[in-house]
Amino acid sequence: MSWPKPSESSDCQLHNSRNGGDFVMTMSNGHPKKLRTAERLKVFRQWLADVDEDEKKLFIRELLNDCDLHNLEYISMLISRLRVARSRPTLNKSKDPFTLLPSHIVLQIMAHLDPVSLCRSSLVSRYWRVVCSEPLLWRTLCQLPREFRLCSAEAESSQLRSHTSECGTVRWKDAFSERYRLWRNWHAGRCVVRTFTGHTQGITCVQFDDDRIVSGSSDTTIRIWDLRGSSDVGNLGTMALNGHSATVRCLDLNGNVLASGSNDFSIKIWNVDVNPRWSSIGCRKNNAWSF
């Protein structure tokens, strides 16, 4: 894959210049720079028209690899505008005002709508449906500073990974739909309450991740519920960790490593992958209250 060379009869002043002095002198008024860009665009379009689809994709991929983040943001914005513009219906006595506006203005207008209004607007026409499905709009909703956010940046990253395609594209509309359902259920009080039993005394601390719930108790034990099994609480796999001789005051779960602090003046580090194995760290005078 190579670029065609300009012809000898090219009207580009840069290619017709015979020495560096002419180049420096002609660059001072600014016009030759425009001619240089126009000449390059002309050559690029000619080359692009001659290559097949595979070569074109290869060129685009290599070009994007050489772009910095600022360039990629600009490209993303252009793609959004082009997607909207190219889905615009032909004007055939249409009275839809959006068909008369530039695509970036249409996107700016739609960005002011709330999620419910945006979904309702997608039912107006095929063109409006394309506009309302634009990922840029749903990414903006996901990134609002207060509403529809998850409890932590780690939780948001995990959620976005679950809505990312194999080619690395985030399905922003699906991600926001999940967040919106969660937000609506919390505000409406709609939730499933499940009761976990097993401790014989009060619960003093709790830790959890996507797969497990870990609890410490005044009965000196630690219990782990495996949430990856049945949705029925009675059928959930449980693990009881025994090692402390007093109330368990604090827990910290990181992967399969669990740290526990107790009123028995010790901190224990557990490997909870399959079998509960632990090592103990003694505390001289004070109880371990938190990590």
Q: Which CATH number belongs to the domain containing residue 167 in this structure? A: 1.20.1280.50
**Residues 214 and 180 occupy one common structural domain:** no
Q: Report how far residue 113's alpha carbon sits from residue 117's, in angstroms, rounded to the nearest whole number.
A: 6
**Residues 175 and 209 occupy one common structural domain:** no
Cβ atoms of 142 and 148 closer than 8 Å: yes
In the predicted structure, residue 262 carries a pLDDT above the cut 70:
yes
Question: Looking at the domain assignment, is residue 47 inside a domain?
Answer: yes
pLDDT of residue 186: 85
Question: Looking at the domain assignment, is residue 2 inside a domain?
Answer: no
pLDDT of residue 11: 45
- Mean pLDDT across 104-131: 91
- Provide the angle, in degrees to the nearest 10, between the axes of the packed helices 20-27 and 31-50: 110
Both tokens of residue 188?
């409406």
Question: Looking at the domain assignment, is residue 107 inside a domain?
Answer: yes
Cβ atoms of 271 and 241 closer than 8 Å: no
**Residues 208 and 177 occupy one common structural domain:** no
For 33-69, what is each residue's pLDDT tens digit? 556 888 888 888 888 888 888 888 888 888 888 888 8
Cβ atoms of 268 and 260 closer than 8 Å: yes
**Residues 227 and 175 occupy one common structural domain:** no
- Mean pLDDT across 70-82: 82
- pLDDT-above-90 percentage for the chain: 27
Q: What is the mean pLDDT of the chain?
A: 78
In the predicted structure, residue 280 carries a pLDDT above the cut 70:
no
pLDDT of residue 101: 83
Cβ atoms of 280 and 241 closer than 8 Å: no
128 CB neighbour count, 10 Å cutoff: 19
**Residues 182 and 209 occupy one common structural domain:** no
From 188, 215, 231, the end of a domain falls on: 188
Who has greater pLDDT, 276 or 62? 62
**Residues 237 and 177 occupy one common structural domain:** no
What DSSP string describes 63-118?
HHHT--HHHHHHHHHHHHHHHHHHTPPP-SS---GGGGS-HHHHHHHHTTS-HHHH
- The H-assigned helical ranges of 92-229 are 103-110, 115-121, 126-132, 135-142, 153-162, 172-188
**Residues 103 and 178 occupy one common structural domain:** yes
Who has greater pLDDT, 157 or 281? 157
Residue 49: give the domain boundaries: 13-62
From 188, 211, 233, the end of a domain falls on: 188
**Residues 116 and 182 occupy one common structural domain:** yes
Both tokens of residue 265?
């003046």
Pairing relation of β-strands 277-282 and 266-271?
antiparallel
**Residues 184 and 258 occupy one common structural domain:** no
Lowest mean pLDDT among 92-101, 181-190, 220-229: 92-101
Query: Assign residue 168 a region: left if phi > 0, alpha if psi is -120 to 50, beta otherwise?
Result: left
**Residues 130 and 56 occupy one common structural domain:** no
Question: Looking at the domain assignment, is residue 89 inside a domain?
Answer: no
Question: Looking at the domain assignment, is residue 5 inside a domain?
Answer: no
pLDDT of residue 240: 87
Both tokens of residue 88?
């615009």
Cβ atoms of 176 and 221 closer than 8 Å: no
Which CATH number fits the domain that encloses residue 232?
A: 2.40.10.480
Q: Report how far residue 69's alpha carbon sits from residue 59's, in angstroms, rounded to the nearest whole number.
A: 18
**Residues 159 and 210 occupy one common structural domain:** no
From 141, 160, 188, the end of a domain falls on: 188
- At residue 7 the predicted structure's pLDDT band, cuts being 50, 70 and 90, is very low
Question: Looking at the domain assignment, is residue 141 inside a domain?
Answer: yes
**Residues 120 and 169 occupy one common structural domain:** yes
Cβ atoms of 277 and 271 closer than 8 Å: yes
Question: Looking at the domain assignment, is residue 195 inside a domain?
Answer: no
Question: Looking at the domain assignment, is residue 144 inside a domain?
Answer: yes
Total domain count for the chain? 3
